[in-house]
Structure 1
Amino acid sequence: MSRPFKHKKTGVYYLRERVPADLVALVGRREIWKSLGTKEPAIAKERHAEEKRKLDLRWKALRSKPEPLPHQQLVALSGKLYRRVMAINEAEPGEPEIWQQTLRIVGEIDGRADAMEQWYGESADAILLEEGLVTDNYSRARLIQEAHSAFRQAANQQLKRSQGDYRPDPAAGRFPEIAKPDGGKKADGVSILDLFELWERDHLADGKAARTPRDHRQKLDDLITFLGHDDAKRVSAKNVSDWTEHLRHERGLAAKTVADKYLSAVRAVFGSGVAKFRIDSNPAAPVSIRVPKRRVERPKGFTDEEADRILKASLGALDASGDTSQENRLAYRWLPWICAYTGSRAGEIAQLRKEDFVTEYGVSCIRITPEAGTVKTGQYRIVPLHPHLISAGLHKLVKGAADGPLFYKPSGRVRKEGNSQASSVVGKVSKWVREVAKVTDKRVQPNHGWRHRFKTVARDVGMDIHYANVIQGHADGSASTEYGETTVKAMHREIRKLPRYCVG
């Protein structure tokens, strides 16, 4: 059974796989080692599954005979790059200067094979790998040229978006569909990837997270590799069940991971196919996975002692020695406190801007909004600030700050979703909690522990669960919540029930 391999000295997990005997001469070694970049077993299992999938595709490609690709197919493949650039920057294209500079560089590398190889070579190889294609050097060079054209087209559209023009790209339809490995569409015209594209189109049109399709596509590719075909109508419930068994018992993934990520993705995509009358039934619908109850050895939220330790350590963050940036010091100082009194997600606080601190009906509040960055629910909310935050000097900080984010300086660089500057801040605070505040128990998350603790403290002081849910951005599933408004005045009344943290 292939499992992550833990390095004895460093504790870091690795993928460690023997090279198939018939490919040793081509690969030049008998074993593959690749760091999974984590010491966490659960994360290692998931990353191992993805790297193993890529490795299997690599072996398949090496065994295949390189074939030239027609121009139509090359343009179709370049469309994948175009759609990715458009999706990643769907909601936030950034400043016009970014794309003006990008287009200038794109123009400079026109006709320069070496420069285009640097820019697009890795992406071209990844696209070929995703499609299970092996081609000759001439076709690959042509694909890189088409990728260059597709990226230029996407960059021009992003420049328009950054200037406020979100009209659809009139040339977006120039990319044909990617021909299937069997030379065309299935007889019934329905492939698994056809269904994925239908689902993806609706997902992005609804303004949902751009990274979710990338994650779902990986799961669908894994299913296709397991099945050995891409024919949606040939997939049975037993096929899906066998695949989940393979993931659990051959690949060593946890039942919860298989259920919540792999099976969930396939169920959603095939469900979209049923809803759009492309297929008659969803083969993933009857498949279920029994997820054993997780052993609970301690509270998910911080204990009183852990909370005091973090908050006390944060009081000295601004004066700490070292070359830590002022923005990071401010994050160490304030992010734990704001999370403690609001129960908000750390990422929602890390992306707060000066303009997100507002006064509503005489109450000092923060505005958590998708305009500032990622909000899990996609909905903005107003959260009153606890009086202790104000008396501790938070408003003085905000008043003296420049416009824009409080806890990082915008780099102006386009970043992939999930790799934002705010998420980087969250990661640094997590490390600070472990290394400086010395909250090292791996059973509690270094930032998310505040969300669990908020609910616990809210119950202790008699805060109405409805208000706690609204303040934290949790849905309670009750139809009654759709009626009327939860006012700032009411939320402020409930927030004030929280006792002060006295750690000075």
Structure 2
Amino acid sequence: MTRPTRRSDSSYFQFQHRVPLDVVQKARGRSITFNFPAMGLDDEHTTTAKLGVHVKFSLKTRDPDVSKARSGLAEEQLRRVYDALRQGPRRQTNKNLVALSGAAYRLLITKFGDDPGLPDGWIAFKGINRAVFEGRVPGAPPIDLLNLPDRDLKLAREAFGRDLTTAINSLPDNTFAGLESRFGQVADDILAMHGVELVEDDRPRLLYLIGTAAYDAGRRLRQHARGDYSEDPSEKRFPPYEAAPPAIALTDLFNRWKAERQPPASTLATWRGVVRSLETFVGNKAAGAIDENDILRWKDDLLTGDRPKSAKTVKDSYLVAIKTVFNFGVSNRLVPQNPAKDVRVLHRRRAGETKLPYDDDEVRALLQLAAGERHPSRRWLPYLAAFSGSRIGEVAQLWGRRIIERDSIVIMQIRPAEDGGRLKNLDSERDVPIHHSLLDAGFMGFVRDRGEGPLFYERSSGNREKEHATAGVTNRLGQWIRASGFDDPRKQPSHALRHWFNSAGQRVGLSDALVDAISGHAPKTVADRHYRHADMAMKLNAVNRIAALVWP
């Protein structure tokens, strides 16, 4: 907290505060009005200070306790200003703009309500305000928040004579140039109090609304001046201001998403780089200040910059990551909007780009190759994947305790590994029969030798932010398959086995629901999910029929 100081040439306490480096350029030259209520023996005090590298002004008190209180109020107002500068301009709802104009109304009532002076001053005040917001005069002096409206009374009599209403009504309503000169400073003060940066298009609307609020305040203060302090109906028309979420860095937003979503380590590694890319590109703007134009410029830079990315990568990786993180932010009221929501990359898949399954000959060749291997992952994983349609990462995290026998059928229970393994989704968890070719080749002996723990890796760290040990297993297996001659870029080394299994199921006449239940695809219909249940004997029969295409 800034501590009040004293200057050698003044007995009053001074406020002196350094503007944070990250906002000093945006803040420089802005004027901020500070309104301090009466405290102790000190009257209320209003002062305006200009922002530069420092903010300095007199607190107009010799009382140490009052100086500390006023210093705290000033710091809080400046904090809101700095937060608004960090977040950047935000579009306000009409309701919020009316709420801000209500703050101007209350400011005037608070300032002058107890001692409003003579009614004629407020008649002139509201008349000039109406002439400005109805577009009947090209300009007027700014509202004076320090003094009673004697100046307005003199101006009104000189410009309009004694019959103020008739004179104003006789003027054409075709110019709104006076909104800024009359209401601009009040608008700036209200925005600073609330820590709001307006988008440019919202300012004329706010100025107009402050004009109408000031008109209502003038009418109310005229009543006060005549001794009428009855209930104020105008106050009720102003809703409370709904403040935007506090500024949050894009990295912090990503970390909150990560903590709640707990994505796989591979997703974390990729998306962290995406977030860092956007954050660097926009100059470390707060997440709430990033707008659609920022996203569009970033997208264009990714596609055409020094290290261009493919349209597919930008569409399916970069934009998906940013849209997901911002959707989380909007849902948790951490940011006001998703700036990437409507951003698109025009990418159409072309012939020759879609992924393909292995054909029967390739599956047969890969299994024959695996049969001659002694390394456990090369020896068994191709078989387990080919004859279950499993993702290679699912079978790579099998533990010995998950290989069981039920009703004379040997089953692998596909579950997240106990040391931090993950499956893709809810439907990935399932029980699948093991084809007899593995049993005949001695798979159960291998399982007994490995014990109850992991079959294809040593224990993983359990740290969910690091890739599970099976990532290395599956990567090395893919490299071995590629090096063994399976080098068609449209056929992923291990995943093409999953494509083959699902395609083979169609060829042998199996229902989609049964093949999905074995391979861990999400059911396609409500009936498949809730009413059609395949028992283990049905699954084993299906596996045998598919395997018969490539294995005697």
Q: From 270, 273, 285, give the equivalent of 1:215.
A: 270
Alignment of 1:159-170 (within 5 A): none
Q: 1:213 to 1:388 in 2, by over 3 A?
A: closer
Measure, in 2, the Cα distance between the counterparts of 1:191 and 1:256: 34
Measure, in 1, the Cα distance between the counterparts of 2:482 and 2:447: 27
Measure, in 2, the Cα distance between the counterparts of 1:426 and 1:293: 27
Question: Which residue does the alignment assign to 1:53?
Answer: none
Is 1:408 aligned to residue 478 of structure 2?
A: no
Q: 1:258 to 1:265 in 2, by over 3 A?
A: same
Is 1:421 aligned to residue 469 of structure 2?
A: yes
Alignment of 1:335-354 (within 5 A): 335-354=381-400
Q: From 285, 289, 304, give the equivalent of 1:249.
A: 304
Q: 1:276 to 1:350 in 2, by over 3 A?
A: closer
8 Å contact from structure 1 (residues 185, 191) kept in 2: no
Question: Which residue does the alignment assign to 1:224?
Answer: 279
Q: From 388, 393, 397, give the equivalent of 2:446.
A: 397
Q: Per the alignment, in what secondary structure is the counterpart of residue 274 of structure 1? A: helix
How far does residue 342 in structure 1 lie from its aligned partner after superposition? 0.7
After superposition, the C-alpha distances for 1:218-277 in whole angstroms (9 at most, x for unaligned) are: 322222222224133433323212221211122311111111111111111221222223
Question: Which residue does the alignment assign to 1:494?
Answer: 542
Q: 1:191 to 1:342 in 2, by over 3 A?
A: farther
Is 1:381 aligned to residue 427 of structure 2?
A: no
Measure, in 1, the Cα distance between the counterparts of 2:260 and 2:286: 26
Q: 1:422 to 1:279 in 2, by over 3 A?
A: closer
Measure, in 1, the Cα distance between the counterparts of 2:259 and 2:526: 27
Measure, in 2, the Cα distance between the counterparts of 1:202 and 1:223: 16
8 Å contact from structure 1 (residues 384, 491) kept in 2: yes
8 Å contact from structure 2 (residues 250, 275) kept in 1: no
Measure, in 1, the Cα distance between the counterparts of 2:509 and 2:309: 41
How far does residue 460 in structure 1 lie from its aligned partner after superposition? 0.7
After superposition, the C-alpha distances for 1:60-85 in whole angstroms (9 at most, x for unaligned) are: xxxxxxx9xxxxxxxxxxxxxxxxxx
Letter in 1 for 2:458: K
Alignment of 1:209-358 (within 5 A): 209-250=264-305, 251-296=307-352, 300-318=356-374, 329-358=375-404
Question: Which structure has the greater CA radius of gyration?
Answer: 2
Structure 2-normalised TM-score? 0.51
Measure, in 2, the Cα distance between the counterparts of 1:278 and 1:201: 10
Structure 1-normalised TM-score? 0.55
Q: Determine which structure has greater relative contact order: mean sequence separation of CA pairs < 8 Å that are 6+ residues apart, divided by chain length.
A: 1
Q: 1:199 to 1:232 in 2, by over 3 A?
A: closer
Q: From 480, 488, 507, give the equivalent of 1:432.
A: 480
Measure, in 1, the Cα distance between the counterparts of 2:246 and 2:454: 45
How far does residue 284 in structure 1 lie from its aligned partner after superposition? 1.1
Letter in 2 for 1:445: Q
How far does residue 397 in structure 1 lie from its aligned partner after superposition? 2.6
How far does residue 210 in structure 1 lie from its aligned partner after superposition? 4.6
Identity %: 27
After superposition, the C-alpha distances for 1:174-214 in whole angstroms (9 at most, x for unaligned) are: xxxxx9xx899645675775465456435433544355344
Letter in 2 for 1:448: H
Tell me how many residue pairs correspond in the alignment. 314
How far does residue 449 in structure 1 lie from its aligned partner after superposition? 1.3
Measure, in 1, the Cα distance between the counterparts of 2:409 and 2:300: 54
Q: 1:297 to 1:207 in 2, by over 3 A?
A: closer
Measure, in 2, the Cα distance between the counterparts of 1:199 and 1:479: 34
Measure, in 1, the Cα distance between the counterparts of 2:334 and 2:447: 54
Measure, in 1, the Cα distance between the counterparts of 2:265 and 2:511: 35
Measure, in 1, the Cα distance between the counterparts of 2:433 and 2:482: 29
Letter in 2 for 1:439: F
8 Å contact from structure 1 (residues 383, 488) kept in 2: yes
Alignment of 1:366-377 (within 5 A): 366-372=412-418, 373-377=421-425
Extract unaligned runs of 5+ from structure 2: 1-20, 22-78, 88-194, 197-243
Extract unaligned runs of 5+ from structure 1: 1-66, 68-178, 319-328
Q: Per the alignment, in what secondary structure is the counterpart of residue 277 of structure 1? A: coil
Q: 1:425 to 1:192 in 2, by over 3 A?
A: farther
After superposition, the C-alpha distances for 1:36-83 in whole angstroms (9 at most, x for unaligned) are: xxxxxxxxxxxxxxxxxxxxxxxxxxxxxxx9xxxxxxxxxxxxxxxx
Q: 1:490 to 1:309 in 2, by over 3 A?
A: closer
Measure, in 1, the Cα distance between the counterparts of 2:354 and 2:285: 45
Alignment of 1:451-462 (within 5 A): 451-462=498-509
The Cα RMSD (Å) is 3.2
How far does residue 338 in structure 1 lie from its aligned partner after superposition? 1.0
Question: Which residue does the alignment assign to 1:158?
Answer: none
Measure, in 1, the Cα distance between the counterparts of 2:295 and 2:434: 49
8 Å contact from structure 1 (residues 198, 273) kept in 2: yes
Measure, in 1, the Cα distance between the counterparts of 2:377 and 2:502: 23
